Structure 1
């Protein structure tokens, strides 16, 4: 395939689904990001019983995946949310089986939604669902097992998969708004046969929260796996900024491991991605360490340490806080930080943001630690 040919995205589609194909085409319209190609597998009813579960057997999906492989697609996605009630481990096994059968990387809608939550640091999620109450409660438990507390808006109570697409878009929008009421970090529309994709961008403006539509999330992750993750405006925050947030998160997680620190964060002023330094753009934590991702109590640009970074534009390495510049008392008293490394991230001559590496005990930072910090700066600068 020519290097100038857009990636081909293979989508395994529930047979009774009439939403995800037109929604996916609409999301890709006017871009050269990728082309989408679909194969159907029999799915008509969503319930918690053996007949319903049997629809999601691997056999038909692998047969359809092999047909998509004939088209030399670059990624294959199960564009269905069954993993949200059958469990993400089932989806992980499915993606492994698809890749073993075809040699092509794979994902699913549920895994994409979980990756979106990780990229945005979501631990409280509003759910907008069309399913019957028992299926919805199973979904709540599934996400809780993944560390995500859910607030469930009243579901539509439907079990006929084809009928999901007949729910008016205005009713879907109203349900999303109800799901956003109780201090959640984001709302997810968990179904790929519900018209939520076109609701995301306008609702995000009104609610001040990300809206993760399942069709959009699947496309987002498929683009990422295919090596094409452009920032597409006007299609919701996930399509615009989710790829950047994911790269930041991966970098911070790697930096945490490389340094053996307790917390790593990145703060940035990037208005085009709705990021401001007073809320972290990403955070990685060792188990049991308190998160500060959403704490906006400090005026970050006015901190002594940050002003020092702005003046010197080099890394600040602090094995303790006995010498200037002193960090804010809250960092020590509330968050327990006893040592840190900070590094500025510059774009176009301006200090766009900075990486922080926190230790809850005093420690000498080694050359290996500072080299890992420098490498993380490079990776984030490249992502920006």
Structure 2
């Protein structure tokens, strides 16, 4: 972890979160000079990659499995800048790398978040720059009034109860999740309670950074007590990766996965993941149908094999809403089974009638095998 020098939050919080790892993971830190957050050249200069690369080379001597810029500067200086920084860290050390901003974006992708509430300690101009930068990444933002601080050390002295109230204020106007954007703000240990009260994910920056670092290190977490990201996020991200690959392999318009996993807060009436072609409408948050009672799903339950439909002129018939509302005219469905039960299924949708090729069906079978193994 490359850490801002004036940060007093992220190290103790990271160690607190790592209680869930039961001693199997260790975190190591190096500091780089950062004291003030503003939109000027003096503040920007603090985030020069040169001292970060020097610190990263020292951390690499400890044979770490992943390197992280544990700061959110990319949120206002530019996400592309963080992508280049992560690449430079890896080039200099041979170690996989990411940043806090990239981790928050990865969390949003894993949960299909397109409208994000923001809880920020910064001045309003920095907050507005973050809203604009996230918009370039496809995220509409609901901005709670920022705390208006520019002293990085002072961020950690904002009471956690005040941070929680700011999160609540950001969880409005259709926000699908809220992000606490700063690694020197105490939001991590509020996330679980807030999620239960607000019924949407709360992505704290320190938590998101650790979550993504663990994924890159091959130690995907599934720990309770710290919110959905550490408990369910690794599974969600893996599902999303499988669906994105399947969408590409088949040239379909939409892929989804529905599954009953109560321990991970997943039920088939809402998708666990979805990948979309350009301009295709999302079905992710539509829970209007009793999925288990659909004709096609009952067929899957009885047959326990893939259903390949180049058109919908033959039984089993899909729900009419799939055609009328979402424009689907052909699909493939594949059951995912664990312990003898059909736990869920993958759907591959086309907006036009099409003959699904052998390669398409092989790609579906491969995706089904991956998710079956993951759930077993």
TM-score (norm 1): 0.97
Name 1:381's counterpart in structure 2. 372
* Structure 1 residue matching 2:184: 3-state secondary structure: coil
Name 1:286's counterpart in structure 2. 277
Q: Is 1:81 the equivalent of 2:72?
A: yes
Distance 2:129 2:316 in 1: 51
Distance 2:101 2:216 in 1: 15
Distance 2:291 2:138 in 1: 29
Task: Show the 5 A alignment for 1:198-347.
Answer: 198-347=189-338
Distance 1:236 1:265 in 2: 24
Number of aligned residue pairs: give it: 374
Structure 1 unaligned regions, length at least 5: 1-10
Name 2:16's counterpart in structure 1. 26
Does structure 1 retain, via aligned residues, the 8 Å contact 2:222–2:231?
yes
Q: Name which of structure 1's ranges 227-236 and 190-199 shifts more when overlaid on structure 2.
A: 227-236
Distance 1:244 1:383 in 2: 8
* Structure 2 residue matching 1:95: 3-state secondary structure: helix
Distance 1:352 1:247 in 2: 17
Name 1:53's counterpart in structure 2. 44
* Structure 2 residue matching 1:335: 3-state secondary structure: coil
Does structure 2 retain, via aligned residues, the 8 Å contact 1:69–1:102?
yes
CA offset at residue 33 of structure 1?
A: 4.0
User: Which of 353, 357, 363 is residue 362 of structure 1 equivalent to?
Assistant: 353
- Which whole-Å deviations, capped at 9, do the CAs of 1:157-198 have from their partners, x for residues lacking one? 000000000000100011111110222110000000000000
Name 1:6's counterpart in structure 2. none
Distance 1:146 1:290 in 2: 18
Does structure 2 retain, via aligned residues, the 8 Å contact 1:33–1:228?
no
Distance 1:289 1:13 in 2: 40
* Structure 1 residue matching 2:28: 3-state secondary structure: strand
- Which whole-Å deviations, capped at 9, do the CAs of 1:21-56 have from their partners, x for residues lacking one? 000000002523410000000000000000000000
Does structure 2 retain, via aligned residues, the 8 Å contact 1:279–1:296?
yes
CA offset at residue 284 of structure 1?
A: 0.5
Distance 2:42 2:139 in 1: 29
Distance 1:321 1:62 in 2: 57
CA offset at residue 381 of structure 1?
A: 1.4
Q: Is 1:194 the equivalent of 2:176?
A: no
Distance 1:120 1:97 in 2: 28
Structure 2 unaligned regions, length at least 5: none
CA offset at residue 382 of structure 1?
A: 2.0
Does structure 2 retain, via aligned residues, the 8 Å contact 1:33–1:230?
no
* Structure 2 residue matching 1:267: 3-state secondary structure: strand
- Which whole-Å deviations, capped at 9, do the CAs of 1:348-374 have from their partners, x for residues lacking one? 111111000001111111111111000
- Which whole-Å deviations, capped at 9, do the CAs of 1:176-232 have from their partners, x for residues lacking one? 111102221100000000000000011111111100000000000000000100211
* Structure 1 residue matching 2:37: 3-state secondary structure: coil
Q: Which consecutive aligned stretches of 4+ in structure 1 deviate over 2 angstroms post-superposition?
A: none
Does structure 1 retain, via aligned residues, the 8 Å contact 2:211–2:221?
no
Distance 1:230 1:118 in 2: 17
Distance 1:207 1:16 in 2: 32
Task: Show the 5 A alignment for 1:140-179.
Answer: 140-179=131-170
Q: Is 1:13 the equivalent of 2:17?
A: no
Distance 2:129 2:270 in 1: 32
Distance 1:215 1:232 in 2: 15
